[in-house]
Structure 1
Amino acid sequence: MRLAILQPSYLPWLGYFDQIDRVDTFVYYDDVQYDKNGWRNRNRVKGPNGPVWLTVPVKLSGRGLQRICDVEIDGQQNWAQKHLRSITQFYAKAPYGSDYIPGLTELLGRTWTHLADLDIAINQTIIQWLGLGARVVRSSTLGIDGDRNERLIRICRHFGADHYLSGNAAKAYIDLETFAASGISVEWQDYEHPSYSQLHGAFVSHLSVIDLLMNAGPESRAILRSGRPIDSKPA
């Protein structure tokens, strides 16, 4: 059984959903330390002049180190309306903009207090749009602790996973021998970003997955899958 573990992210890129598509169980790693200036609260979409950041303001000042699941959104800022305005402006003329803008409008129009809840709710909707079938859980509900490698292994064991899919950035800290000794093989994602027909000039990669959805609609899942190694298949 395959498993992947990733921190919740805001409107993530294609590779995030590739991991979800390639496993049986996907774990949102929502109770680890929040990384400021990471992807938890921001991502990029494409406007007429190139990539544009959409950032969810969060409360960090004076709060010390926080777990992702504890980070609160700064509701005093008009961020959701700004994001919707940008998305609508940039993608209203996209081939499938009318298929997805209403859903994003409903999601972002809700009252959100915690960043992880927002991220996961949006990602779950995108999972449905893409037709992905992995079981999804939050690590904060599992009661599993341990140091970096030990905890990952314990989560794998909890679900009976013998195959762990990881992004390549984790090569810096994944202890392959420890995983192997626990009966768990590690596979590196090795994802290569595919290209597709896109609005606003020359193709730009590594945007939010909503750029793919708006431009490719029902072909999005096939395009998403085209970036993985040829011998790797969905779970």
Structure 2
Amino acid sequence: MTEQSENKTLIIESQYFPPICFYKTLIEADILKIERYEHYQKVSFRNRCYIAGPNGKILLSVPLSKGKNQRTIMKDVRISNVENWQGLHWKTLTSAYRRSPWFEYFENDLEGLYEKKFDFLLDWNMACLEWANKVLGISKEILLTDGFEKSYDPAAGILDKRDHFVPGQDQEGLPTYAQVFGERTGFFPNLSILDLLFCEGKRGLELLK
């Protein structure tokens, strides 16, 4: 058996600042492979993430040039930059987390990411993933698929979680922690990894294990 086949590979779709369940699964893998040859699917984490606000969960959605009903290959899905959605998302994040323990620590670096323009959703998502991995202290080899395969052999050490995590679906075994508005709204599990980072900082990695 080769060293490559002994490694555990997680294959999953590209997501915008993925939810905590994504990262809970990622830390158990050696290699992360992002699916880029699937068709875009609406109502997924591909172009949306959820954060905690004073009145409940807040949806941040990346606008797409052909809308949410397109059936475009993921690597070709274009972002609509007609409006300053990045500025709006950043303003929302600032409003929701400026009183969190770790927001100030990450603020300048993350603001710089939101000031960069991206034409393709996959490129934006990859930049978000790499940023979150860096600040969490996660070091994984990240690959992109070379073509679409309907299924993968688990015996080959491949964990296929494409379309496994969807908005609104309960996930078990996730960490709990103090959220900014938790006393008012109650705890919201499985928000974007940004929520865990702003509330717990680098301790977030320990909570995921």
Q: Structure 2 length normalisation: TM-score?
A: 0.85
Alignment correspondent of 2:198: 214
Alignment of 1:2-41 (within 5 A): 2-41=8-47
CA pair 32-64 structure 1, distance change in 2 beyond 3 A: same
Deviation, 1:18, is 2.2
CA RMSD of superposed structures (Å): 2.2
Contact 2:42 2:68 in 1 (8 A): no
Q: Secondary structure at the match of 2:11?
A: strand
Amino acid at match of 2:20: L
State how far apart, in whole Å, the 2-side matches of 1:52 and 1:102 are: 22
1:22-74 Cα offsets, whole Å, 9 max, x none, are 11111010121100121111111111111100011002259952011111000
Structure 2: give runs of 5+ residues left out of the alignment: 1-6, 165-170
- Aligned mate of 1:164, from 117, 135, 158: 158
4+ residue runs of structure 1 moved beyond 3 angstroms? Answer: 61-64, 166-170
Q: Say which one has the larger Rg.
A: 1
State how far apart, in whole Å, the 1-side matches of 2:157 and 2:178 are: 34
Alignment correspondent of 1:104: 110
Task: State the percentage of identical aligned residues.
Answer: 24
Alignment correspondent of 1:193: 174
State how far apart, in whole Å, the 2-side matches of 1:116 and 1:216 are: 27
Structure 1: give runs of 5+ residues left out of the alignment: 171-189, 226-235
Contact 1:112 1:118 in 2 (8 A): yes
Amino acid at match of 1:69: K
State how far apart, in whole Å, the 2-side matches of 1:91 and 1:64 are: 33
Q: Structure 1 length normalisation: TM-score?
A: 0.76
1:175-194 Cα offsets, whole Å, 9 max, x none, are xxxxxxxxxxxxxxx85221
Amino acid at match of 2:179: Q
- Aligned mate of 2:188, from 192, 201, 204: 204
